[in-house]
Structure 1
Amino acid sequence: MKLYALLNIILCFSGIVRAQVVNDAATIEFGQKNLSIEQPLLISVVIRDAENRPAVVFPEIKDLEKRSKSATSSISTVDGKKVVIQTITQEYFASKPGSYLVPEFILNINGQRLHADETTVVFSAGNDGGNEPTIAQGETLEPELDNIGEGIFLSVQTDKKNVFIREGFALRVSLYIAENAPVQMEFYRFNEQLQAILKAVRPANCWEENVGIEEIVKRKVTISGKKYTEYNMYQARLFPITTEDILFRSVKLDMLVTDNEGKVNVANKVIRAFRSKPSRVQVKQLPDHPLRDQVAVGHYALKESLSADLVYPGESIRYMFKVEGTGNITAIPAPVIQVNSYFDIYPPEVSQVVKRSYQSVAGEKTFDYFVVPRKDGTFPMGRYFQWVFFNLATAKYDTLKSAKSLKVEGEDYKLANLSLSGSAGLYDNLESLDSSRQLFDYKKILKNATNAVVIVLLLTMFWVFRK
């Protein structure tokens, strides 16, 4: 009888625990599993309700090469509550077509163990006969190739040498070792050295966007026809916030090098320093403009929507003004609203999606307005909603204007006749609302109740054993 009661308690307990973790705060997601050889396998960790992005070290997968990592953050407001979703994505490339086994693995994220089942990914043949990244003369990402010596060099490189203020550029710190380099080496006190390198290369006058520094990323590259292994230690997008030029001083990385000279069957390890070449990024001021110190800089486009094209005076509508493109999405300012007597325009709800990678910072920022028209007529929304930015494609100022038009028909909006018309005004019955009343957090109540049931079950189990 005791055994029967114990089994029932255990089954009930496991069911409750399972119910508690149905809505996991973090999950592992795979991208497409049938790919061409030019496409990467994408493995993502999605974390919900996390303001800070955790460190994620993705697994090594046999015969697949880790390359770029990206991080996307989504911030929105749902029912007055801020919702944050962080997505960290790792790319894996295959060197040749075929089927590749991805074994099961476990990631520890914020104290939670995430499990991914074993799966198979198929890479089919492409058109270019291979996908090894090449760094050739004339491309934007090119280490300084003089002073290579034995074919080993430390590079602090940027993809641009001249930028406008608030224009983004890439920074990358890597150690390159030629395939035919006649030495063997290993990293020495790497974490300590990396912190010193980052302190030296991170400029104080730049806004930094990066995807995190959790591990050294190793990949095969070709530079001017010569094969190298790149050990990437840091990469970020930087946005200068002042017009001072950005100087990257020479930094040093010590490596343990195996020295076999002059001795038979004896390997001595010596510390050898590798230094990067200093470099400079020139920062230019924007042309004269009344909003020169406020506008965003980048490549942007407008998407918009109106909840209705035809309304009555006093009837509220939603207007969405979404700016999307590449640039410092987080720092995008709100549109300039023209003051007028035709509309009541309330402060917007703001949401954003930002994808950070070495190649770019891209995404969208949405301004969701609550608008109440006061008079009848036809109103081009472009008169009232405008967004000025500096367009890098043309090196000129540009303006995103609404192309929507709102038609308002009926008597002019008057606060006095709202109750007579029977429509629900914005402030109707305001005096009857109880501002001291607290909203119920049903999720929290359910969690507390579940915890209480678990405690009761544990006490019952203890009582059964005591008897």
Structure 2
Amino acid sequence: MPVIELSATEFLIERSFTISVIIPQAENRPTITFPDIPGLTKQGTSTSATRTEVNGREVINQVVTQTYAATRPGTLRVAPFVINVNGQTVRSAGTTLTVRAVTPPVSASVLAAKVDKNSALLITSVSQSDVFVGEGLRITVAVYVAENYPYELRFDKLAPQVEAMARQLRPVNAWEENDNISELTPHPITYAGRRYIQYVLYRATFFPLSGQNTATRTIHMPPLQLALTRSSVKVTPATATTPPHSVTSAEPLTLTSLPVDVNIKPLPPHPLRERVSVGQFRLVDEVDRRRVLVGQSLRFDIRIDGRGQIAGIQAPTQPTLETTRQAPDLEVFPPTMQEQIGRTDEQVSGYKRFRYFLIPKQKGTLALANRFFWVYFDPQTARYDTLRPQTVLNVINPGDSLTTGIVPTDTITTNGRSSIYSGLEQTDSTKQSINMPVLVRSLANVLIVLMILGTIYVYARK
């Protein structure tokens, strides 16, 4: 059954509101008509597909997302609506949206806005002026045009100019998640107490890497320049010989932004400081069954989702035998990975899933929290946190399978499916199996021999 998901209901006016429809187990992507919402304008539709494995079979889930932009700050009501997906009716109860006005970025560009009464500004803004190593830094470059600006701006040769800006802004030794803005979309915005129309040229999130993790360093974003053309229309009054007519004049215009500096703070000391992720995360674990035979394989999923550098999430840590001081009572196969990254909110969010196949070696209760853990750093609390799975396995002997109904699948192939050698070590080689086709052929051969001997005996008597 398709499912409707709504994005965050409280957001800045420069951000977007999205409605997503998730269609499970769908090979083909359907065409969906999303509702019109008063106070919001449709910006575009995006699609994606996620692949999961269910009972050894790959399943494709389709995701269709409609993006909306708010026309003004305030409270908006999204009434209940219905979406038709492949003949199925999916309902949403609606919601209430809180659209907040944009606060001025941390930049000296505020001074320019106060000086220029008829202003057109190029502003480089950042999400914050201090970030930790590995924490997401949101960088936006936008043109702000006052509502009473008497000129019309024309953006000429914009693509190469934006690419040049990106090269100047891109920090050294940082992972980039680019929003890939392909078209200019006007957004009404309040900035420094004035009403502007904002045109976002470039937006990306950078995650400073840990190459210099022991000292505070500064990322310097230099002034940027954007070449435009501004034009105005003047009406010439009528004379005795000529009627009134309009004259269009155009002239080049160069906008220059002010520089911005951001401090990159090192993470506090920790044994795993060089490999931890930074952000807000949670761990969700799932196992295909909790009662399992000794030597039987089972599938175990660990999904880590939240906000941060999703692509950089590493597999959970497994304690070594020396640290646990226990016998190798669990065999763990290397995991397969799947990730999904979204950039529809103010930060990069998504999940990364690790799929393991486990084989318990001893009977008893096995808590997977003692076998897997994942450490991350929360920049809001400036502390490390450790996430552990909650699954507890009940491992039983093969002789108990008559009451549990578990079918042994102790040997697995590379794709996680049961092998033809499953249960080999439980097979008793001293017991001879009965092969019915061979037995029938042997009896038939004996009968044929007896018939031949009988025939010879009859002829011999004559």
TM-score (norm 1): 0.65
Are residues 423 and 123 of structure 1, via their aligned partners in 2, closer, same or farther at CA, if it must alter by over 3 Å? closer
Question: Where do 1:151-300 residues align within 5 Å?
Answer: 151-241=119-209, 242-243=211-212, 244-258=217-231, 265-300=246-281
Are residues 125 and 359 of structure 1, via their aligned partners in 2, closer, same or farther at CA, if it must alter by over 3 Å? closer
Pick 1 or 2: higher relative contact order, CA cutoff 8 A, min separation 6: 1
Contact 1:167 1:327 (C-alpha < 8 Å) held by counterparts: yes
Contact 2:150 2:232 (C-alpha < 8 Å) held by counterparts: no
* Structure with greater Cα Rg: 2
109, 126, 146: which is aligned to 2:111?
146
Q: 3-state DSSP class of the match of 2:280?
A: strand
Q: Aligned residue for 1:91? A: 68
Q: Aligned residue for 1:332? A: 313
Q: Aligned residue for 1:7? A: none
Contact 1:71 1:355 (C-alpha < 8 Å) held by counterparts: no
* Cα deviation digits, residues 282-332 of structure 1 (max 9, x gap): 111111112111111111111112333332211222222221111111110
Are residues 30 and 425 of structure 1, via their aligned partners in 2, closer, same or farther at CA, if it must alter by over 3 Å? closer
Paired with 1:124 and 1:387, the residues of 2 have a C-alpha distance of 37
Deviation at 1:279, TM superposition (A): 0.6
Q: Aligned residue for 2:298? A: 317
Deviation at 1:425, TM superposition (A): 3.4
Paired with 2:234 and 2:380, the residues of 1 have a C-alpha distance of 56
- One-letter amino acid matched to 2:382: A
Q: Aligned residue for 1:11? A: none
- One-letter amino acid matched to 2:265: K
- Unpaired runs of 5+ in structure 1? 1-28, 51-57, 101-121, 414-420, 432-467
Are residues 97 and 361 of structure 1, via their aligned partners in 2, closer, same or farther at CA, if it must alter by over 3 Å? closer
Q: 3-state DSSP class of the match of 2:125?
A: strand
Task: Kindly tell me the number of residue pairs found equivalent between the two proteins.
Answer: 366
* Cα deviation digits, residues 165-195 of structure 1 (max 9, x gap): 1100211110001112233322222223222
Paired with 2:95 and 2:410, the residues of 1 have a C-alpha distance of 63
Are residues 85 and 158 of structure 1, via their aligned partners in 2, closer, same or farther at CA, if it must alter by over 3 Å? farther
* Cα deviation digits, residues 244-276 of structure 1 (max 9, x gap): 532211111112122679987543211011101
Paired with 1:98 and 1:306, the residues of 2 have a C-alpha distance of 40
Q: 3-state DSSP class of the match of 2:189?
A: strand
Question: Where do 1:455-466 residues align within 5 Å?
Answer: none
Q: 3-state DSSP class of the match of 2:258?
A: coil
Deviation at 1:70, TM superposition (A): 7.8
Q: 3-state DSSP class of the match of 1:337?
A: coil
Contact 2:332 2:356 (C-alpha < 8 Å) held by counterparts: yes
* Cα deviation digits, residues 395-416 of structure 1 (max 9, x gap): 1111111232222233799xxx
- After superposition, the CA RMSD in angstroms is 4.7
Paired with 1:273 and 1:167, the residues of 2 have a C-alpha distance of 33
344, 348, 354: which is aligned to 2:335?
348
Paired with 2:265 and 2:18, the residues of 1 have a C-alpha distance of 39
Q: Aligned residue for 2:101? A: 134
Deviation at 1:387, TM superposition (A): 0.6
* Cα deviation digits, residues 361-394 of structure 1 (max 9, x gap): 1122121221111111222211111111112232
Paired with 2:341 and 2:357, the residues of 1 have a C-alpha distance of 24
Are residues 146 and 68 of structure 1, via their aligned partners in 2, closer, same or farther at CA, if it must alter by over 3 Å? farther
Paired with 1:371 and 1:284, the residues of 2 have a C-alpha distance of 39
376, 380, 387: which is aligned to 2:374?
387
Are residues 145 and 353 of structure 1, via their aligned partners in 2, closer, same or farther at CA, if it must alter by over 3 Å? same
Contact 1:375 1:412 (C-alpha < 8 Å) held by counterparts: no
Contact 1:170 1:237 (C-alpha < 8 Å) held by counterparts: yes
Are residues 64 and 376 of structure 1, via their aligned partners in 2, closer, same or farther at CA, if it must alter by over 3 Å? closer
Paired with 1:151 and 1:98, the residues of 2 have a C-alpha distance of 34
Are residues 345 and 63 of structure 1, via their aligned partners in 2, closer, same or farther at CA, if it must alter by over 3 Å? closer
- Unpaired runs of 5+ in structure 2? 28-33, 80-91, 238-245, 322-327, 401-405, 413-418, 423-462
Q: Aligned residue for 1:404? A: 391
Contact 2:78 2:97 (C-alpha < 8 Å) held by counterparts: no
Are residues 62 and 311 of structure 1, via their aligned partners in 2, closer, same or farther at CA, if it must alter by over 3 Å? closer
Paired with 2:366 and 2:93, the residues of 1 have a C-alpha distance of 54
Deviation at 1:430, TM superposition (A): 4.5
Q: Identity over aligned residues, as a percent?
A: 25
Paired with 1:234 and 1:372, the residues of 2 have a C-alpha distance of 49
Paired with 2:361 and 2:154, the residues of 1 have a C-alpha distance of 72
TM-score (norm 2): 0.66
Paired with 1:77 and 1:395, the residues of 2 have a C-alpha distance of 37
Contact 1:153 1:276 (C-alpha < 8 Å) held by counterparts: yes
Paired with 1:124 and 1:350, the residues of 2 have a C-alpha distance of 35
Paired with 1:49 and 1:127, the residues of 2 have a C-alpha distance of 31
* Cα deviation digits, residues 116-171 of structure 1 (max 9, x gap): xxxxxx9999697xx5x51235xx67783111323211011111111111100211
Contact 2:49 2:60 (C-alpha < 8 Å) held by counterparts: no
Contact 2:107 2:258 (C-alpha < 8 Å) held by counterparts: no
Paired with 2:340 and 2:108, the residues of 1 have a C-alpha distance of 32
Q: 3-state DSSP class of the match of 2:279?
A: strand
